[in-house]
Amino acid sequence: MRFYTQQHKHYCGIDLHARKMYVSIVDNKGKTKFHRNLKTDPELLFEVLFEYLEDIVVGVECMFSWYWIADLCTDHNIPFVLGHALYMKAIHGGKTKNDKIDSYKIARLIRGGNFPLAYPYPARMRATRDLLRRRMYLSRRCSELVAHIQNTNTQYNMPAFVKKISRKYNRDGVAERFEDPSVRKSVEVDLAVIDSLNNILSKLEWHIEKTARNHDYKTLMLLRSVPGVGSILGLVILYEIHDIRRFPSVQDFSSYARLIKPVKESDGKWAGKSNKKIGNHHLKYAVKEATILLLRSSEQAKSYVEKLERKYNKGKALGILTHKLGRAIYFMLKNDEAFNVNKFFG
């Protein structure tokens, strides 16, 4: 957990919502200078901040509509900090909670050096990252439709599909095997939606690939040197990491990518596990998927996992390999060098 500890003359805490925001400004002595509910208007917010532009920091709890405040602060060279929502227990654990109190608490947390930080993703690559996440959402919808066709096939006790129907050239005659007109129509609808989504995805992937070449093409090529990392996984890792220098150590990166399990201790004793969802689940998905693909294509990876299985179970062995691959990606990007298979398994 990281905290914002820099000192300023004034501290601005904003409890932000879609249409309203409660703004609280306190000085370095803790005296309230401004405390009012406003519309989410950039010009109106800048008018409030203008009087304190000499030395002020703006803090917002991480929620879906923080982009415009971050961009406003960047345009006017105002320090901006984004609060980690899952760490802000002082706000969510209060006996009384409302927007007025929350905004004041945010300002006081920043002033006291207890404001937990999240990463405010820069605007230059932010929209493409969101577009890539949208692509993952559409891809999962395709998988759900394929699963529905397979379940329908099992439901009516039909022979199993010989080839994967996720491939376009394996879908001929899929709907025709069902005699009931309504069931056949249901499968035809699923196939039509899959075809439509695949056409959208191909155009979307081309656009993202083209945009990535202008953002950080060198890093993308480094990531694709990892066996199992193709065009999509390389893009996901690139945009979810953004800049490897924001992780001071490989442990910070592993924690962010959810490659290690958080453990609670008290009085030197194990006290359970918690906060498994803190981190980036998109990055976790990409590294785990790359590990599976590496295991399929590399005999060295298979031997490595078999060796680990003799000591641990299969799940633990795969977890160790995933963590090892995540650490390799970190050092690969940190040292600006391509993936070396012999060094990885050496």
Return the DSSP state at 177.
Answer: G
Report the chain's C-alpha Rg in angstroms: 25
CATH number of the domain that residue 86 is part of: 3.30.420.10
Q: Residue 229: inside a domain, yes or no? A: no
Q: Residue 183: inside a domain, yes or no? A: yes
What pLDDT score does 34 carry?
A: 95
Tell me: do 271 and 323 sit in the same domain. yes
Percent helix, strand and coil across the chain, each to the nearest 5: 55, 15, 30
Q: Residue 222: inside a domain, yes or no? A: no
Tell me: do 262 and 310 sit in the same domain. yes
Tell me: do 91 and 186 sit in the same domain. no
3-state SS assignment for residue 263: strand
Tell me: do 267 and 305 sit in the same domain. yes
What pLDDT score does 55 carry?
A: 93
Tell me: do 277 and 319 sit in the same domain. yes
Tell me: do 112 and 133 sit in the same domain. no
Q: Residue 221: inside a domain, yes or no? A: no
Tell me: do 102 and 157 sit in the same domain. no
Residue that is last in its domain, among 118, 144, 172: 118
Q: Residue 226: inside a domain, yes or no? A: no
Residue that is last in its domain, among 181, 216, 251: 216
Q: Residue 225: inside a domain, yes or no? A: no
Are 103 and 13 contacting, i.e. CB atoms less than 8 angstroms apart? yes
Q: Residue 181: inside a domain, yes or no? A: yes
Tell me: do 98 and 173 sit in the same domain. no
Tell me: do 298 and 270 sit in the same domain. yes
Tell me: do 209 and 242 sit in the same domain. no
Instruction: Say how far apart CA 132 and CA 138 lie, in whole Å.
Output: 10
What pLDDT score does 86 carry?
A: 85
What pLDDT score does 265 carry?
A: 77
What pLDDT score does 189 carry?
A: 95
How many alpha carbons fall within 13 Å on the CB side of residue 166?
A: 9
**Which pLDDT tens digit goes with each residue over 74-89?**
999 999 999 998 888 7
Point out the residues of the chain with pLDDT beneath 70: 271
If you average pLDDT over every residue of the chain, what do you get? 91
What pLDDT score does 341 carry?
A: 85
Residues 6+ away with beta carbon under 8 Å from 276: 258, 261, 262
| Nearest one of 316, 314, 310, 260 to 287, comparing CA atoms | 260
Tell me: do 113 and 129 sit in the same domain. no
Q: Residue 227: inside a domain, yes or no? A: no
Tell me: do 209 and 130 sit in the same domain. yes
Residue that is last in its domain, among 83, 118, 153: 118
Residues 6+ away with beta carbon under 8 Å from 100: 15, 22, 24, 35, 37
What pLDDT score does 43 carry?
A: 95
Q: What is the pTM of this model?
A: 0.88
Number of domains in the chain: 3
What pLDDT score does 242 carry?
A: 93
The domain in which residue 153 lies consists of 125-216
